[in-house]
Structure 1
Amino acid sequence: MAKKLEHIDSLAFPILVGDIGGTNARFALLADAAGEPIVFPVVPTADYPNIDDAIEAVVFAHTAIRPKTAVLAIAGPVDGEEIELTNSPWVVRPHALIADLGFEDVLILNDFEAQALAVSALPESGRDPIGGGTVLEGASRVVMGPGTGLGVAGLIRSRDRWIPVPGEGGHMDLGPRTERERAIWPHLETLEGRVSGEQVLCGRGLVNLYHAIAAADGASATLTLPAEVSEAAAKGADPAAHEAVQLFAVILARVAGDLALVFMARGGVYIAGGVFGRIAALVDPAAMREAFEDKAPHRELMRGIPLFSVTLPLAALAGLAAFARRPHLYALETAHRRWSR
């Protein structure tokens, strides 16, 4: 059966919203439509065997409020009765959430749908511009985020409703553009022969890029964690780490420009994700903007499209909360993604 766009008028409160990534899980509880959400501590998914135990330990153990509805954003494709996360062993079973935890209604979204919901109403205080461009209100938007993987989603507006468009854009092929990149590319770790977005533009991708740069120069690569690469770049302690961070940002902006063209995103392209947040102060925004706009024959078009870094903490939870409060402003694919008692 084909999925459909459903107009949801309301959801039953209290509502649990959750942003479940490959590394961390984030939860908040909305007691009603007017109040501020109760935000719970961010927890590593590796600390719990499954999402059910995480909800009980992180949420239920710290509040007497029992939610009727769960709106959960999952890092992976949402399909079937057992939903696997792409970069975590967790498997989400909506029927078990209803039977064992007492939910009446469970709606599962892709994690970057939640980020798309967030940028539908992101305040200026929650974003930093990278270069020029002007937001065209009501125009399509794109959100992307290097984290454990590379998430991508679009956001389009039709008939006065925002429609998030999830996908697996982080697995698009990447290729070199310069002589320096052509020297680095053969040293990148591939996935079945492919250099996809996630092989470069995520935490492990930053490490992959660092090792490839060192190999291209015949140097030793001693760093193994994304935080080590960014810290070394910040201290100026490792030339390969510095180049990896700068090239990471340029390639990220280049892909952001590609996505801007795919969606004609005159509402802007928004970079979220923890990895870019940690390196944003280290990179050259002018180089990023040039890579974003370098899309002949459409450079003039690209010059008018804004590029932002999302700075709002827990933006995905904010997006889920915005949807939970006023679902009538959004149209979502719900077939095979919504379960009720």
Structure 2
Amino acid sequence: MHHATENESLPFPILIGDIGGTNARFSILVDDTSEPIQFPNVRTADFATIDEAIQREVLDKSAMRPRSAILAVAGPIEGDEIDLTNCDWIVKPRALIMELGFDDVLVLNDFEAQALAVACLTADDREVVGTAGEPATASRVVLGPGTGLGVAGLVHARDTWFPVPGEGGHVDIGPRTRRDLEIFPHLEAIEGRISAEQLLCGRGLVNIYTAICAADGVDPSLTLPSEVTAGWQSGGNAQAAETISLFATYLGRLAGDLALVFMAKGGVYLAGGISQKIIPALKQPEFRAAFEDKAPHTELMRLIPTFVVTHPLAALAGLASYARTPGAYGISTQGRRWQR
């Protein structure tokens, strides 16, 4: 078995995949100069395994045979069978090599891919929240409320971007205001604790909404995240409106905490499906107010820009950038790269 050195490029053509809890997106990068060939979005629930999805949705629909694969997956990467946190797929790189004919498979964390994207996104692919200004070439943070809540840091040193993946979506989050203290007792906890992901993801929207209803003594009428955002958009549901306002506040608090941890003078980037849907709410004062409210460092926080990532396929763009120029990124492939 050939062991790759760090930053050794994978052989082209490369299949690039972003495997989330609900959706999987694939493209093929033919060489280091061309734009990726995109394939239609795949719903993970429609296929029993990732192998079947790749075979039917990519390999059967293209004459291009990828030699290697870079897959970003939602979940920690441990061992030869990688469980996805929010869906039933299991990624088995050895099986992909044996059965689908790949020579080389690299598996990264999905928010590592989002961090790679944040290193290379241009102003066209992001929307400013709060104060503008070109972000410094300095540490950055990306957090993404979607099916779950992903978090990654991005450290800049020695002309290289180092993604720092982790499970930052599972940190504790607590009440601060009088209103929080009314609502928090009604939130659904996991083993006695409220983590950020219990509030800042799709099911988190419903969790906040239901708790507001309980605090207000109102029967909840909405059960899906999409219904909560629709109730906010129509302006017809007071509890849904407050849900989105509090969601923006809590997201601002956590974004500010992470900015402090990474001293993210290069900005904080909001990815994930929900951020794009609620941009008008994030542009209201609550998000930035909560973000900056970090005494004794309020002045410092005012200088840190915040953005919503609007690129429709940011993770794929980040992976493609890495595939073209692996030397520009400090990514450890040890234990995460399998070869024929």
Q: TM-score range by the shorter chain?
A: over 0.9
Q: Which residue number in structure 2 is paired with residue 110 of structure 1? A: 109
Q: 1:205 maps to which residue?
A: 204
Letter in 2 for 1:164: P
Structure 2 equivalent of residue 319 of structure 1: 318
Q: Is the 8 A contact 1:150 1:201 kept in 2?
A: yes
Displacement of 1:7? 3.5
Once the two structures are superposed, residues 272-326 of structure 1 have per-residue CA deviations (whole angstroms, 9 ceiling, x without a partner) of 0001211222444322111110000000110111010111111111101111111
Q: Which residue of 1 aligns with 2:254?
A: 255
Give the corresponding residue for 2:72: 73
Given that residues 113 and 166 in structure 1 are in contact (C-alpha distance below 8 angstroms), is that contact kept between their aligned partners in structure 2? yes
Kindly indicate whether residue 215 of structure 2 is the aligned counterpart of residue 216 of structure 1. yes
Q: How many residues align?
A: 337
AA at the equivalent of 2:34: G
Work out whether residues 135 and 265 of structure 2, in 8 Å CA contact, stay in contact via their aligned partners in 1.
yes
Counterparts of residues 277-296 of structure 1 (less than 5 Å): 277-296=276-295
Task: After TM superposition, give the deviation of residue 183 of structure 1 in Å.
Answer: 0.3
Contact preservation (8 Å) 1:135, 1:266: no
SS in 1 for 2:71: strand
Q: Percent identity?
A: 59
Contact map agreement 2:44 2:87 (CA 8 A) in 1: yes
**TM-score normalised per structure 2:** 0.97
- Equivalences for 1:67-106 in 2 at 5 Å? 67-106=66-105
Q: Would the alpha carbon gap of residues 153 and 283 (structure 1) be closer, same or farther in structure 2, given more than 3 Å must change?
A: closer
1:339/1:190 Cα in 2 relative to 1: closer, same or farther (>3 Å)?
same
Conservation of the 8 A alpha-carbon contact between 1:162 and 1:330:
yes
* Distance in 2 of aligned mates of 1:71 and 1:54: 15
Q: 1:130 Cα shift?
A: 0.9
2:162 paired with 1:163: yes
Query: What is aligned with 1:11?
Result: 10
Provide the aligned C-alpha RMSD in A. Answer: 1.3
Q: Shift in Å at residue 136 of structure 1?
A: 4.8
* Aligned amino acid, residue 61 of structure 2: H
User: How do residues 1-341 of structure 1 correspond to structure 2 at under 5 angstroms?
Assistant: 7-132=6-131, 134-341=133-340
Shift of 1:139: 0.7
Output the CA distance in 1 between the equivalents of 2:40 and 2:14: 17
Inter-partner Cα distance in structure 2 for 1:245 and 1:47: 30
Alpha-carbon distance in 2 for matches of 1:207, 1:171: 18
Amino acid at match of 1:119: V
Kindly indicate whether the alpha-carbon contact (under 8 Å) linking 1:105 and 1:339 is maintained by their aligned counterparts in 2.
yes
Q: State the alpha-carbon separation in 2 of the partners of residues 59 and 249 from structure 1.
A: 37
